[in-house]
Chains A and B, each alone.
Chain A
Amino acid sequence: MSIIATIARRPAGLIGLIGVGGFVLLAFVVPFFVPLRNTVDIGSIYVTPSLAHPLGTDFQGRDVLNQIVYGGRDILTIAFLAALFSTAIAVTFGSIAATRGGTVDTIVLAITDIVLTVPHLIVLIVVAAIFRPQGFLLLAVLLASLQWAGLLRQVRAQVLSLKEREYVEAARSLDLGLFHVIFREMLPNMASYVAIHFIFAMTGAVYAQVGLIVLGLVPMTGANWGVMLQLALSQGAIYFSDSFWYILSPILAIALFQLSLVALASGLEDVFNPRLRAG
């Protein structure tokens, strides 16, 4: 596809594509070829990296690399779902607010302003503490419920200017319906904002969800980069010099994934905003 080729032309975009693609492969494809090795081995606790354990072992002698391979799937899935939900909310209600105007617009904007104001992590902590969200669909919805506001304002502003264009007027006079006008006529013209926001929504969802997991507020089971960190922090392993590789591995995985997303977003910006491309 030509758009991928254009993104790959700039170093940031290329790094982003390789990074995000690599993490998707690691989290969703590699587990099919690498067997899960989660048996406790008291004999090899906190082994330093070797050929058998390239990233060493954890406090129960389990292979760290194996946990990194299996621990990304939930984080990536939740981040993707949260970004998907928040983008859907923003595009739908932003467009409706702009095309309907009047009271609908006022109400949507007032709610948006309030959601933009509240500090998300604090709200998430209090809500998670009171209602204990279980299962990752619920967590994704919770994350998305605070994330849509920024994009909604952009979409609304964009639709306000687009709705005066001739092709939109034509579609409306043909009575093609609000749904058609928003999703078939206007959305393609906002693709750049939406795509870039989608990526930043994913970085935000990773930040918040790993934060909540590290604080022990969302019960997660199975291999998970966040749970690895939470165990290390809650057991004080962080102050134990043998555990260096065990703690460093999930940190690097999360940090590199975030950096890949940001690089991909900046690559997309170059494509959609040619004025920056010259610079």
Chain B
Amino acid sequence: MDPRRYLGSAWRHPVLRAVLKAALTILVATAITFVLIRLLPGNPVDLRIDELTRDGSMTYEQAREQVSAIYPIDLNDPIPLQFLGYLWNVLRGDLGTSYLSTTASVTSIILAVLPWTLFAVGTGLLLSFVAGIGLGLLAAYHRGSFFDQAVSTIGSIVSSVPNYLIAILIVLIFGVQLEILPITQMRGATSPGIHPGFTLEFVGDVLFHAALPILVFFLTHIGHWILSMRNATLATLEEDYVVAARARGLRESRITTAYVGRNAALPLVTQLAIATGFIVGGAVLIEQVFLYQGIGLRLLRAVAQRDYPVMQGILLLVTISVVVANLAADLLYSKLDPRIGRTS
């Protein structure tokens, strides 16, 4: 079979095409990371070699060797081969080691902080989704009422004020002025000295520390869900099948859940899938305000320490998670909505 025809037919298959596009995007993301560390003027590889050789304690070859070990790149290879080598190492999960300690691999550093971010942002995102769907549906059903206006206005206000300012306001007002929240004790992901495990004490402690980040992530997203669900519901209420369901005398509660709510929430499920990809990326400033030890705070530490391998590892992880989430959203949508054929 002609390879071009083979590729062409693969491209026309929607699932295959989505997977191919995702793989290509990850490839480009890896290429950009490689260009950043290797090719641009002032790149960290040359910078590091420069630093190591400056005081004369190391020869150029020794410095190159050490930097080769820090970044998963063999600096003796020609550039294209270096890229392939880097790509291969990334595929194997080898993102190099930290500048500060050559025994700490970037992968292990990321894995140590990632769960906390996933937990805090994921919980906030899910709670906001559920609450936003409910409030948006109610607002649309009572269009023009005081409830609708209040919910819509509050929704658009919380989504337009930058979320890190909301976080600072919480610390400022409830922590410092009113002294309701023990802000300094709530820092970090857990209390010092507590033993991890499925004990009530540990779970309670985790929730205590994650409460404020969860609250802020909840507030960050809820406005969007409320407004989208309200608009989607308003559009769905006009659909013929809703009118027909009413004419058939179905109970209003059944129409609300099975006919209106379900169809209106459909596009939002895809948006939720896309939003999960931004979990890691959206956490930086919030984690900084609450000093919550997630991946965002780790990134900032790497930035402050000029620990480029860690920075680039996190950048790569964040990009891949967004691409995978987008792919999942694509596939989910064609699965949820029978009108969108799998094969066109």
Contacts and interface: CB of A to CB of B under 8 A. Distances in A.
A244 B161 contact: no
Contacts of B176: 238-241, 244
Contacts of B114: none
Contact of A238 (B162, B171, B303): B171
A217 B303 contact: yes
B21 interface: yes
Contact of A122 (B36, B172, B183, B315): B315
Interface stretch (B78-86, B190-198, B261-269, B283-291): B283-291
B25 interface: yes
Contacts of A113: 21, 25
B168 interface: yes
Size class of the B contact interface (CB-based, 8 Å)? 35 or more
Contact of B319 (A119, A121, A210, A251): A119
Contacts of B184: 239
Interface string B170-191: 0110011100000110000000
Given A117-B322, A126-B36, A255-B161, A215 B44 contact: no
Interface stretch (B122-130, B205-213, B306-314): B306-314
B299 A125 contact: yes
A241 B175 CA distance: 9
Interface centre among A117, A240, A251, A258 (most CB of B within 10 A): A117
B165 A121 contact: no
B186 to A, nearest CB: 12
Interface in B140-180: 143-144, 156-157, 160-162, 164-165, 168-169, 171-172, 175-177
A201 interface: no
A113 B28 CA distance: 11
A240 B176 CA distance: 7
Contacts of A217: 303
A207 B289 contact: no
Interface in B259-278: 278
A222 to B, nearest CB: 21
B282 interface: yes
Contacts of A240: 176
B115 interface: no
A126 B280 CA distance: 14
B232 to A, nearest CB: 14
Interface residues of A, number: 41
A254 interface: yes
Nearest to A265: B160
Specify the main secondary structure of chain B where it touches its partner. Answer: helix
A32 B203 CA distance: 57
A60 to B, nearest CB: 20
B120 to A, nearest CB: 17
Interface of A is mostly: helix
B134 interface: no
A215 B171 contact: no
B114 to A, nearest CB: 14
A238 B183 CA distance: 11
B42 interface: yes
Contact of A117 (B36, B42, B172, B323): B323
B168 A118 contact: no
A244 B179 CA distance: 13
Nearest to A216: B304
B281 interface: yes
B326 interface: yes
Interface in B54-88: none
A95 to B, nearest CB: 24
Contacts of A126: 36, 303, 311-312, 315
B319 A259 contact: no
B300 interface: yes
B90 interface: no
Contacts of B172: 238, 244, 247-248, 251
Interface in A176-211: 203, 206-207, 210-211
A84 interface: no
B318 to A, nearest CB: 5
A268 interface: no
A82 interface: no
A123 B311 CA distance: 10
A52 interface: no
Interface string A231-252: 0010000111100100110010
Given A114-B25, A255-B162, A262-B156, A119 B42 contact: no
21 contacts: A114-B29, A119-B322, A120-B281, A123-B315, A125-B299, A126-B36, A129-B311, A130-B36, A130-B308, A211-B285, A214-B285, A215-B303, A229-B168, A239-B176, A247-B168, A251-B165, A258-B160, A258-B162, A259-B160, A279-B143, A279-B144
Given A118-B322, A130-B40, A248-B172, 7 more contacts: A117-B323, A117-B326, A119-B318, A122-B318, A239-B176, A241-B176, A255-B165
